[in-house]
Structure 1
Amino acid sequence: MPHTSVHTHGCRVSDEWTLRGMRAAVLENDLLRVMVLLDRGAEIVEFRYKPRDLDLLARWGELRNPAHERPSVASPSGTFLDYYVGGWQEILPNGGAPATHRGVEYGQHGEVCLVPWACEVLEDSPERVSLRCTVRALRTPLRLERIMTLEHGRAVLTFDERLINEAAEPLDVMWGHHIAFGLPFLTEGATIATSARQVVVERDMDGFTPRRAQVDQRRLWPNVVGANGGPLDLSVVPPRETASGREMAYLSEFDGAAWYAITNPATTIGVAVRWDSAVFRYLWLWQELGSGRGYPWWGRAYTVALEPWTSMPTAGLAEATARGTQLVLQPGQIVSTRLTATAFHAMPTISSVDADGTLHGK
């Protein structure tokens, strides 16, 4: 049943919000405010660091309701890009381009990121709040459960997740967290630190020109060969005023725990994400730095997405399976995993992230 915290201090949670006719939930404590759009894939549309009143996620357009606003003609790619304006989506079971696999046609980033999810408040006290969100894919017998938790005095959002194969046969899947950061957080550009040691630059990005790096290269992170033949450091994001170009790359070979931190060098505000590299073996790096003209960017998108994924490339499930990077779930198998996202300030250099989201650095 609907629930809103009775207490007015410490951690609070409510699943009784609406936004443009869509059910929404809000979790907050003294440091973070998180809004989850339940009727649109349980998408995180706000990850606000309260001490600076700063939403760290990208947003360059209005949030539309897929149930109320439909495109005038269906696209073979699906509707993801019609509604995408930044934020944090969970993607399953197809990552990237439309694909056909085992008789199923998937649109881009299909099929759970735009559909309604069920929710239930599990814990509600000034010390701790937890919200469980669940969904079943339409064309694939998969069930995904996500428990989001905030604790008092910590700027850490914790995801405890379970992915369940409800089929009587093995299933191939791509599963990822599509986390995009943008303005005003990235006004002065950003620096990226990570435990990844290898980077592979994507070969094919239809319509994605100009590229920042030479395509189809494998290097030690973060140094690659730029499109002009010179050195390019992918850990440094150019400021909005001088940024141009686009890029897609895959990071892997993590040194110990898998984590990254993206920091604004001028404000020293940042976000650090840690996850289980046994499940999410790749970190996708997508940059859209204002050069995208026409649909769907229209020159508005200045964003850096850092996305933990089970698989690569961004060409869809059929191609990932052909390359052997898909996650294979046996009948009835349950995959459990944890991910944390930590907002921080006055820590210009992050050296590691613990499993509970605690940061180390200076």
Structure 2
Amino acid sequence: MSVDLLTIQNEYLLVEICPTQGADIRKVARIGRSENLLLETKWEGSEANYCNCDSNDEDHFLSHYAGGWQLMIPNAGFPSVSKYGAVGYHGEAWSNSWSIIKHEGHQLVLETTLRSAPIKIQRKISLNLQTLEVTDIVTNNSDTEIELIWGHHPAFSSLLIDTSTEVQIYASEIAIKIDSHLETAKNSERILDQQVGSFVLRDFMKAPQSFLGFATEFKNGLASIMNKNNQLCVNLRWDSTIFPHAWIWIENKNILKKPWEKNIVTLAIEPCTTKNNMGLEESMKEPNNVLILKSKDSKSATIYLEVLNLPPFLEDFGFSKLVGVDSL
């Protein structure tokens, strides 16, 4: 394991975090298993575990992207500008080196101060039984209010993604953009076999293709990924009053350009303050589409990732039992 990664664990889960680049969560594994539930890119440059931030475009982000789970602040999506200057692709927090405040067996506390906006962030990553809890406190250090985008970018590994995968999104609407070589790309419902708030990846995983969707109007801040072949489920929960949207990205060995080179399989569900990936400047043009923090104010939010082992017989085992809700 790289010396730059720190570990927390309990009797159920082991988690690795990279404080020198973004306080990224690089690994989530069940105890006693050689696995990672999060994507690992392993392409050249992704294991440097630091970022010099000389550039701010998408290629720069990708050259450092190791997979895992990033924090996106003060921007998410395309590079943009704010009243403080340029803000890079997916913001700055993912690239910063974070100070370690506390590191115990089951929890880690870190903090960083941004350069692209007067923002201080304190992050607590902890384990509670089979659940990883990620709490961020975002503070406006300035004397005026600021506008920002705040999002999370957890990308899951192929352990959760194959033809047996079913995804539940507790949203009323998903705006869809598809990039595919298949004729079925013209019909998003056919590709994802979407039924009553959930979709399966049976047909999607049969050929190279990519999917980008933007979910909104959440009944609950909740999404679940169930893989029947590997008898595994993860539930991602968040406060939908802070993150009223979630971006959905699915990649099945479709992107040709470097560093992807048709090697990546992943599914990301990304809770966000903002409904699409156009960047801060464009997002500010629409009402109620960015987070506004008043002078010296702080906002706290926790994301929960629950990891469940599924029973061997799933035919009568619905999502309601997995996520602890009575109905969809």
Name which of 223, 235, 240 aligns with 1:260. 223
**Match in the other structure for 2:89:** 108
Shift of 1:167: 1.2
Larger displacement relative to structure 2 (190-199 or 89-98):
190-199
Question: Structure 1 residues 97, 352: closer, same or farther in 2, change over 3 A?
Answer: farther
- Aligned equivalent of 1:327: 291
Residue by residue, what CA displacement relative to the aligned partner does 1:287-315 show, whole Å, maximum 9, x if unpaired?
11111101231101111110111112111
Of the three residues 243, 261, 264, the one matched with 1:298 is 261
1:111 counterpart SS class: coil
Deviations 1:62-91 (A, max 9, x none): 5421548x79x9574462111113211111
Aligned twin of 2:144: 169
Q: Flag the 1:244–1:280 CA change in 2: closer, same or farther, 3 A.
A: same
Q: Pick from 170, 181, 203: which aligns with 2:156? A: 181
How far is 1:119 from its partner? 1.6
* TM-score, scaled relative to structure 1: 0.78
- The residue matched to 1:292 in structure 2 has which SS? coil
- Seq. identity, %: 22
Q: Does 1:309 align with 2:236?
A: no
User: 1:138 and 1:188, CA in 2 relative to 1: closer, same or farther beyond 3 A?
Assistant: same
Q: Tell me the amino acid that sits aligned with residue 153 of structure 2.
A: H
- Aligned partner of 2:24 in structure 1 is 43
Q: Match of 2:70?
A: 89
Structure 1 residue matching 2:285: 3-state secondary structure: helix
- Other-structure match for 1:160: 135
CA shift in 2, pair 1:282/1:168, >3 Å: same
> Aligned pair in 2 of structure 1 residues 232, 319: CA closer, same or farther (>3 Å)?
farther
Q: CA deviation at 1:282?
A: 0.4
- Equivalent residue for 2:9? 28
**RMSD (Å) for aligned C-alpha atoms:** 2.9
TM-score by length of 2: 0.86
Report the AA paired with residue 5 of structure 2.
Answer: A
Check 1:309–1:244 CA distance in 2 against 1; reply closer, same or farther (3 A cut).
Answer: same
> Residue type matched to 1:280 in 2?
F
Report if aligned partners of 1:56, 1:185 keep a CA contact under 8 Å in 2: yes
Alpha-carbon spacing, 1:231–1:98, altered in 2? closer, same or farther (3 Å) = closer
Q: Which runs of 5+ in 1 are unaligned?
A: 1-17, 215-224
For the residues of structure 2 that align with 1:286 and 1:277, how far apart are their CA atoms? Answer: 19
Q: CA deviation at 1:188?
A: 4.1
Corresponding position of 1:237: 201
Do residues 133 (structure 1) and 116 (structure 2) align?
no
**Cα deviation, residue 160, structure 1:** 2.4
- Report the CA distance shift for 1:280/1:247 in structure 2 as closer, same or farther (over 3 A): same
Query: Residues 105-127 of structure 1: CA distance to partner in whole angstroms, max 9, x if unpaired?
Result: 12211211022111222655xxx
The whole-number CA distance in structure 2 between the counterparts of 1:74 and 1:198 is: 35
SS of residue in 2 equivalent to 1:80: helix
Structure 2 residue aligned with 1:14: none
Q: How many residues are aligned here?
A: 315
